[in-house]
Structure 1
Amino acid sequence: MTQRAEHSTVMDRLALDDLITGYAIAVDDGDWPGYRALFTPDGRADYRSAGGIEGGVEEIAVWLGEMLQHFAIRQHLIVNRRITLAGLDGASGDCATVQADYFNPMRLAGPATEGGGGPTAPNYTCAGRYEFTARRTADGWRLTGVVVHEKWREVWADGE
């Protein structure tokens, strides 16, 4: 591999890492226009393993916006990212897959958290693995798909 090709591969990997980080921040902040902008127009997501839905990015953004209102605090930690770049011939190119584990502590909304004066410790935690697919576009790397594979979740009452 030439030095120029290695540099390009590193830059692609950094851009994909930024894309996945942007995904976590958009979901945690409830930035649904920002969430939509991370995807190609034909992008899809599948949250069924976590009790959600599967569909196009528009449908998913609306659903996430409604469902995540139940959580006053949320924080996605996406780690152990395995990035694979591929082209049609199997060489590094314009398509990518990213496998990444997630740990997601959240706080269920309720009277104690409304107004910002209540508890902030998580009382709902889930974890699993994401499978992201992405494509290089004129606007940079964009997600074409997200599949969630939830492995476990824990919900507890305050004081436990």
Structure 2
Amino acid sequence: MTQRVDLATVMDRLALDDVVTGYAAAVDDGDWDAYRALFTAGGRADYRASGGIEGPAAEVAQWLAGTMRRFPVRQHLIVNRRVSVEDLGGYPGDSAEVRADYVNPMRTGSGEDFESGGRYRFTLTRTAEGWRLRSVVIEEKWRRTGTGGAAEGG
């Protein structure tokens, strides 16, 4: 590989990371316009493994907006990202997949804690506007609920 190809691959990986981070921030901040903007025109999301819905990103954003009202405190931590960019004979292509684990602590308005963890599968496409999500599939592996106590600082 040439340095130019290596640099393009690094730039793609950084851009893909920005999309995944933007996804987490949009959900945590309840910014449903930003959430929808992360997807391609035909982009879809699948939350069925966590008891949710599957469908076009706009419909899922509407469902999330209603569902997430129960959780005024939420924070998606997306880690262990494995990025795979389409390889066109040593050159990066226009599709990619990111598989990443998550831990999602949240708290309801009444103080009940809710935590879940699992894996995301993000499928992305390079567009004229940059990388966009073609699909997001959540694979919830565990969840825990309980009543939260007072937060302690150190």
Shorter chain as denominator, the TM-score bin is over 0.9
Gaps of 5+ in 1: 113-121
1:149 maps onto 2:127 in alignment: no
3-state SS of paired residue (1:52): coil
CA distance in 2: counterparts of 1:91 and 1:7, whole angstroms: 11
Match in the other structure for 2:73: 73
Match in the other structure for 1:9: 9
Match in the other structure for 2:115: 125
1:60 maps onto 2:60 in alignment: yes
C-alpha contact (below 8 Å) 2:77/2:102 kept by paired residues: yes
CA distance in 1: counterparts of 2:14 and 2:138, whole angstroms: 22
- How far the C-alpha of 1:158 sits from its partner, in A, is 3.6
Match in the other structure for 1:92: 92
How many percent identity over aligned positions? 59
CA distance in 2: counterparts of 1:50 and 1:91, whole angstroms: 37
Match in the other structure for 1:115: none
CA distance in 2: counterparts of 1:158 and 1:108, whole angstroms: 9
TM-score, normalised with respect to structure 1: 0.89
Gaps of 5+ in 2: 150-154
3-state SS of paired residue (2:98): strand
**Greater fraction strand:** 2
- How far the C-alpha of 1:90 sits from its partner, in A, is 8.9
3-state SS of paired residue (1:82): strand
CA distance in 2: counterparts of 1:88 and 1:60, whole angstroms: 33
- How far the C-alpha of 1:145 sits from its partner, in A, is 0.2
C-alpha contact (below 8 Å) 1:95/1:133 kept by paired residues: yes
